[in-house]
Amino acid sequence: MNGGAVNEERLSGVLLHVTSLPSYGGIGDFGPAAYAFVDFLAAAKQRLWQVLPLSPTGYGSSPYSALSAFAGNPLLISLERLVADGWLTAEHVAGLPGHDGPANFEAATKQKLPLIEEAATNFLDRAPDAARARFQHFSKANISWLADYAMFIVLRRRFGYVSWHEWPAEYAHRKDDAMTQTLNAHGRELAIEQVIQFFFHEQWSALRSYCVERKVRILGDVAIFVSYDSADVWTHPEIFELDAERRPLRVSGVPPDYFSKTGQRWGNPLYKWRLLEQRGFDWWVARVRRALALYDMIRLDHFRGFEAYWSIPAEEETAINGVWVKAPGHELFKRLREVFGELPFVAEDLGLITPEVDELREHFRMPGMRVLQFGFSDRGSHLHLPQNFVPNMVVYTGTHDNNTTLGWWREDTGERERRHLQTYLQPIRHDDDVVWAMIRAAARSVANLCIIPMQDVLHLGSEARMNTPAAGNGNWTWRYGLHALHPDFATQLADLMEMTDRDGYVLPEPEPIEIVSSAAEHGPSI
């Protein structure tokens, strides 16, 4: 890290998406709860905070189903900070949903988002010169995506939030006259959307600065694919596999695996990789540049898709009848390294991983991932156990797609897995024992990076699961309680970090040893 590869230090961190914070307004955001969480991380000697994509969400409120790969989610903007900055009053935000309970995206969209839009209006009407100058600087620095994203959001609202391909053809196909008409008729709305992105930028930048002060770095998530109903596909249809009507020809997913017998049909349009390569991967360069402006390190979701991706005919209802298609991963990462230098990437290399995928990851010195929950079935699963780890690796007890460790132990393990875990770790006399045993195993391992989901830190069961892959609803809503950050959890983690050398402590340079060569001092030679 520090500008080099991500595997140079032995550190630990916590996986918690921002929406899971107990913030005011019904959904986790960049407000006081986020700062309290960073304080908890520092007290627990956790040096990394892993978040899921911060993009504006579309279908199902999934951070992996985003309306833009570049924009920030407006719902993550803190109302308290808007009040503190003078863009809203306390009376504006009184009566909104409180801090407790699951994230309520629908209520936040209906009640919180209009207040954020009102704050943006107030900014446009009366922002002082210094704030306007910062806004102009932000707009200029993000000119490659900001105006198109604002146009997409305004038109999406105008046409009843249907997917862009259902808009009138002149708007779906971005005809010049239609775009000019929108600029002339909706200039105020477009400006509001850009100011909202500026609010996101200012608040996230302030939170990141707070993290830096407490020696916490952000590990962010970049999904390999983008949603069909997104500003990205609407703005750049030429780089995706679309037909003449701009409908997907083939879509993304994964074959049958641990999570689903029919695979997962994600439905994202696939890239025209050959065209992107001819263009110097310009869109990917822009995307990574944006990600590096948001995060210190980047986890590449579905890394195996950069070597070969599962291509499913768009008319198929499941992922069963897809085929593997080679991707120009070496050429892409070579280009990114030319632009950005050493790549601070973590490769999510779970699933069906071939020697070619391993070679691609190792060639660019990216740490891969191991998940302890996967390690206790047959011998083939033992690559997820510590005896098979190497330092250039990130170990998780579980990920956002897994059950919590306590939920997994209680509900998802069979007799053989339980017996293997008892043998490998220690006698598990009580359910809660398994959580700390797994955390301890991850921290003790040789993997340089160790990530623990917040649900495991709090010893929570399956009621706290973040996501069940292939489930149609009920995902992404977990939030921890307002008073959940008990100091005992921080003390327990801090002690473990010290004993496993993950607390960020650097040994002092040894004092130089003076070499004395005088024969008189050493006595006669023998």
| Structural domain boundaries, residue 275 | 236-352
Task: State how far the Cα of 248 lies from the Cα of 230, in Å rounded to an integer.
Answer: 13
Q: Residues 173-182: what's their mean pLDDT?
A: 97
What pLDDT, on the 0 to 100 scale, is given for residue 510? 56
- 327 or 93: which leads in pLDDT: 327
- Under the banding of pLDDT at 50, 70 and 90, the label for residue 1 is very low
- Quick check: is 456 in a domain? no
What pLDDT, on the 0 to 100 scale, is given for residue 127? 98
Non-local (6+) Cβ contacts of 185 within 8 A are none
- Quick check: is 327 in a domain? yes
- Under the banding of pLDDT at 50, 70 and 90, the label for residue 368 is very high
- pTM of structure: 0.93
pLDDT tens digit string along 71-92? 999 999 999 999 999 999 999 8
Catalytic residues: 301, 348, 401
pLDDT tens digit string along 47-73? 999 999 999 998 889 999 999 999 999
**The pair of three-digit structure tokens given for residue 251, joined into one six-digit string:** 């879509």
- Quick check: is 476 in a domain? no
pLDDT tens digit string along 134-148? 999 999 999 999 999
- Quick check: is 296 in a domain? yes
What's the structural domain count of the chain?
Answer: 1
User: At residue 445, does pLDDT exceed 60?
Assistant: yes
**The pair of three-digit structure tokens given for residue 15, joined into one six-digit string:** 């996986």
- Quick check: is 294 in a domain? yes
User: At residue 515, does pLDDT exceed 80?
Assistant: no
Portion of the chain with pLDDT greater than 70, in percent: 94
User: At residue 282, does pLDDT exceed 90?
Assistant: yes
What pLDDT, on the 0 to 100 scale, is given for residue 16? 98
- Quick check: is 291 in a domain? yes
- Quick check: is 104 in a domain? no
What pLDDT, on the 0 to 100 scale, is given for residue 512? 58
Bridge-based pairing state of the strands 250-254 and 264-269: antiparallel
pLDDT tens digit string along 230-264? 999 999 999 999 999 999 999 999 988 766 789 88
Which long-range contacts (C-beta less than 8 Å, at least 24 apart) are formed by 205-213?
A: 206/30, 206/81, 207/30, 207/34, 207/35, 207/38, 210/35, 210/38, 211/38, 211/49
- Quick check: is 256 in a domain? yes
Non-local (6+) Cβ contacts of 379 within 8 A are none
Whole-number Cα distances in Å, 370 to 83, 169, 341: 43, 47, 26
